[in-house]
Every structure is written in structure tokens, then in C-alpha cells.
Amino acid sequence: MRQGYASVVFVSVLAAALALAALGAHTVSVALTRSFGQDWRVAQARLAADTGIERALRMLLADPQWRDGDRCTGPVCHGAEVERVEVLQQGSLLRVVSVGKAGGVRRTAWAVVRPGLVPLLGSFGGGIKVLGGQVLEVSGSANLESDVLAVGGLLLWGSPSVGTAEKPRTVYAVGDVAGKKQTVFGDVYATGTVSPGVATGREVSGWVPAGPLPSPEDVGQLLELARLQAEYLGQVYPAGRVFTAGDLTLLRGVVFVEGDVVITGGNTGARAALCASGGIRVYGNLDAPRLLLLAGEDVDLSNSTRVRVAAVVARGSVGWGGTGGGRGSLVCEYGALVASELNGNFVRGNVRLRQDDSISLQGLAGPVHSLEVVERGGD
């Protein structure tokens, strides 16, 4: 009797122990599941925060003055989103802060970046850069009131001038700088020779550039970047397009046209980059000091007498045809003017090319910027 009673007690105790063990295992399983779910949400939130940083860097690369963090918010993956992005100015640096959210979990990521300008625009004093490798001839009464980089050399004959007595400029030449009289107000540096007495300042023969020279291939890289930036903004036109004065006022950010662009002229304060895989032709006078023109082929100003833009960059030629030589005149003002050729490398007549130092190339919208990530972190 006692033996049977003991057996029953043992079985009951064993059953209770098994039940408790099962309950404990279930509790552990639930805790582990909850822990895994929490860890997963933390990982998703941090991923979303990092995604907000990457989206912001893409926008800042096109425009360092961009501050509209709302363009970077939104879904990242199922259950996770970029909740908020801010860009803060810290002296010459930018601090980007992004908050990612997954469920009720939030995580923050940040990056400190240093904005810069591609050498194609910013090096050698900005101004005019003729990169095709042929001699640039300047003659007659033409005035280049601009810093000049001439890859191929510079020939000055007649009565032209580079710079002015009030605003001296610098000439850099890969090749020779030749002239019979003083025509450069400022300094001249040439990898070849410099004709004595051609400049008011230093005349340096055998110059060795301190860094790599820009080239027409750089323009092709900018075009590809412009296309990507315009696609991200939804501003790609699949065929050639005409832009009137009214159209220009609506431009924002990077606009890319597959084909040729015609600009009928006008005035606008729009800060934008108008980019074309083909050429750009300006048919009338244009006052657009915050507009960048970027062309895969030529930029033609032959129907204009006055053009003011932030910058002109062409893989081909920037020219104005028969303007000058008593048949008309052209005044072109810019922060930078870059091309393989400048009017077929024959600049003469009533032409004034003026570098406008009030134009901030750092402030341009367009594919001409660089970003260096100085520091990065988050929680």
C-alpha cells in the first residue's frame, strides 16, 4: 500500500517538474523571441538612419546649399523608415543628422562632411580654361578680363588685353605664351617660353603645374553625374527642348536633356544646372547669374550680345561665330568658362569675356561638387 502511494507521489512530482520545465522553456522561448524582435527593430532603425545619411549626401553632392530634409524621409524596407534628416552648418563643414525608425525604436546616425569644388571649375583661378591642346589666338581689340588656362599655348597679336590695370589676372599656359607687346595685366606662367615684356607682372618660363591639369574627359564625367542626379530628381527630358524666359524661372536643381537645348534668352535668378547630352544654343541676351550650362557638345552664343551665367562648361567649343571684327559685339560674364575650344581658338574683335568674382562657384547647383566625409557615427 505504502509502495503504491509512493509511486503515485513520485509520478505527481515528476509531472509537476516536467510541467514547470515546459513552462520555463516556453518562457525562455518567448523572452528570446522578444529579444530577437527588439534587436531586429534596432538594426532596422539604424539601417534607416544610415540610409537617410546616404540620401542626404547624394543631394548635397548636387547642391551644397540644399537643406530640404523632407526629400530624404520615407520608407526604407518593410517596417522601417527615415523619419527625419537635418543639415547643419558648422563653419566650413556640414553636419548631417538622420533619425531612423522601426516600430517604436529610433536610432540616430550622423556625418560631418567637407564640401569642395571639382578642379575643372575651381583650379587655376577659375575663369577661362581651354583644354583641347591647340594654340589659343587672341587678337584685335578682344579683352579677356579673366584668369586663363590655355592647354596648347597662347598667341597674342594686335591690340588685345588680358586682365586690366585695375584688375590684374593670371595666365597659365601648357606651351608658349607669345606676343610682341605688353598685353597681359598680371602674371604669366608657361611650361614653354614667355615672350619678354608681354606681361606687367611675373613672366615665368618652364613652369611646372603643381597638380594634374583638367581635361575634356572631365566634362564627360560631369555629364554622367548630371544625368544620375537629374534622374534622382525626376528632371530628365528624353528629347531636345526649347527653354523660354518663363521656363528658366522654374528651373531648380539639376535638369538633364537628352539632345540639344535652345535658350531664347531672358532674365532669371533660378539656381540650377541646365545640362544637355548635345549642344546648347543661346538665341538672345541672357542674364542668369546662378545658372550653370553644361553641354556634351558645343555652346553657341552667336545670336547674343550679352550673356551672364554662373558657368559654361562644354566638351566641345564655346563660341559666338562671326561676332566681332566690326560685325557685332559680345559681352560674356561668368564665374568659369570651360571648353575644349574657345570660338575655334580664334578670339578677336568686339568681344569682352569677363570673370565675375561675385559669382560663387561653391554655391552652384550642379554636378561640380565634391564631398569628403570627415567623421561619421551614431547610436
pLDDT for the residue numbered 7: 54
Long-range CB contacts (within 8 A, 24+) of 283-291: 288/248, 289/333, 289/356, 289/358, 289/359, 290/359, 290/363, 290/364, 290/365, 291/248, 291/251
What are the two backbone dihedrals, phi and then psi, of residue 122, each rounded to the nearest 5 degrees? Answer: -90, -20
CA-based nearest residue to 301, from 325, 330, 327: 330
- DSSP sequence for 105-159: EEEEEEEEEEEEE-HHHHGGGSEEEE-SSSPEEE-TT-EEES-EEEET-EEE-SS
Q: Structure pTM? A: 0.85
pLDDT for the residue numbered 15: 52
Contact partners, residue 274, CB within 8 Å, separation at least 6: 243, 251, 255, 257, 261, 263, 280, 291, 292, 293, 294
Give 158's pLDDT tier (boundaries 50, 70, 90): confident
Cβ atoms of 87 and 135 within 8 Å: the answer is no
All three cell numbers of 101: 525608425
Residues 21 and 25: their CA atoms lie apart, in Å, by: 6
DSSP state, residue 328: -
pLDDT for the residue numbered 251: 94
Cβ atoms of 230 and 254 within 8 Å: the answer is yes
Tell me the pLDDT tens digit for each residue of 217-260.
999 999 999 999 999 989 999 999 999 999 999 999 999 999 99
User: How far lies 110's CA from each of 63, 84, 205, 273, in Å?
Assistant: 19, 12, 49, 28
Residues 153 and 149: their CA atoms lie apart, in Å, by: 9
CA-based nearest residue to 305, from 289, 326, 288, 285: 285
E strand or H helix at 255, and its extent? strand 253-257
Every domain of the chain and the residues it spans? 2-117, 120-369
Q: What percent of the chain stands above pLDDT 70?
A: 88
Tell me the pLDDT tens digit for each residue of 118-152.
999 989 999 999 999 999 999 988 999 999 999 99
Give 57's pLDDT tier (boundaries 50, 70, 90): very high
C-alpha of 322 from chain center: 33
Query: Going edge to edge, which strands form the sheet with 241-243?
Result: 241-243, 261-263, 280-282, 299-300, 317-319, 341-342
For cell 538612419, name the residue. Answer: 49
Q: What percent of the chain stands above pLDDT 90?
A: 77
What are the two backbone dihedrals, phi and then psi, of residue 292, each rounded to the nearest 5 degrees? Answer: -100, 130
Residues 205 and 176: their CA atoms lie apart, in Å, by: 8
Tell me the pLDDT tens digit for each residue of 305-351.
999 999 999 999 999 976 544 446 899 999 999 999 999 999 998 89
pLDDT for the residue numbered 205: 97
Tell me the pLDDT tens digit for each residue of 159-215.
899 999 999 999 999 999 999 889 999 999 999 999 999 999 999 999 999 888 999
